[in-house]
Amino acid sequence: MKKLLSLLVFACLASPVLADEVKIAVAANFTAPIQKIAADFEKDTGNKVLISTGATGAFYAQIKNGAPFEVFLAADDETPAKLENEGAGVKGSRYTYAIGKLVLWSAKPGFVDAKGDVLKKGGFEHLSLANPKTAPYGAAGVEVLKKLGLFDSLHGKIVQGENISQAQQFVASGNAELGFVALSQVWKDGALTSGSAWIVPASEYTPIRQDAILLSNGAGKPAAEALLKYLKGDKARAVIKSYGYEF
C-alpha cells in the first residue's frame, strides 16, 4: 500500500503543470481571426482561451464594472489607452495588433460597384451600420458618409446594429441591401468571400488601429501574458493578414 501511495505521489510530481485558461474580450470584427488563433494557441501551449465578442465601447463599460476579462482586443486604440490611464490595464502592455479596413458590402453580387457610387445613386432602402457610439467601424462608416456629403440624405435609411457582427448580419440576411462592415468579415486569403464590395480608401476615414492590452485581472497570469506574446508571432500574424488586416 505504501509503495502504491509513493508511486502516486511521484506520478503527480512528475506530471506537467496543469494548463491555465485566459478570459478575453474581443472586438466583434476580429471574431474569425481570433477563433483560428485561439485554436492554434491552445494546441501549441495547452492553455484554454475563453472568448467573448462584442462592441468595444460595450466591453469598456463591462470592464469598468468588474467583468473578469484578462485580455482585451479592441477595435480602436483609444479605449485600451483609456483603460491603461484609468488603472484597469497594465501599463506598458498595450500595442497595436492589427489595422482594420472598412468596406461597403452587399450580399448581392454586382450590387456595390468598385468605387462606392451606389451610395450616391441610391436604389436601396436600408444601409446597415454598427452603433457609432460603441463600435469604431460604425464611427468610421459615419465619417465616410459625412466626408462624401451623404450622411444627411441617407440618415433615414440607416439600420443600426449593436456591433459590427450584427451590422453584417443585417446585410447577409437581406434586411439591408448593403452596409459598412469590417473587411475581415467578408474577406479571406486575398479575395471577397461573397457578394460585392467597395473597399473604402484609407484616406476616407481615421485609421482603425486596433490595440490589445493586458487587463488588471490578467496581471501576473502566464496564460494571459502568453496569449499577448503569441499574437505578435509569425503564425498569428499570418492569420491576421489573411483576413485583410494590415500592421
Predicted TM-score of the model (pTM): 0.91
Q: How would residue 19 be classed by pLDDT, with cut points 50, 70 and 90?
A: confident
Q: Structural domains in the chain? A: 17-99+209-242 (3.40.190.10), 101-204 (3.40.190.10)
**How would you label 86-109 residue by residue, b for 16+ Cβ within 10 Å and e otherwise?**
eebbbeebbeebbebbbbbbbbee
Dihedral sign, Cα of residue 43, residue 44, residue 47, residue 51: negative
In this prediction, residue 13 carries a pLDDT of 44
pLDDT tens-digit profile of 106-137?
999 999 999 999 999 999 999 999 999 999 99
| Average pLDDT over every residue of 230-243 | 98
Q: What's the pLDDT tens digit per position in 76-101?
A: 999 999 999 999 999 999 999 999 99
> How confident is the model over 165-177, as pLDDT tens digits?
999 999 999 999 9
Task: Answer whether residue 5 shows pLDDT above 80.
Answer: no
Compute the distance between CA of residue 93 and CA of residue 219 in angstroms, rounded to an integer: 10
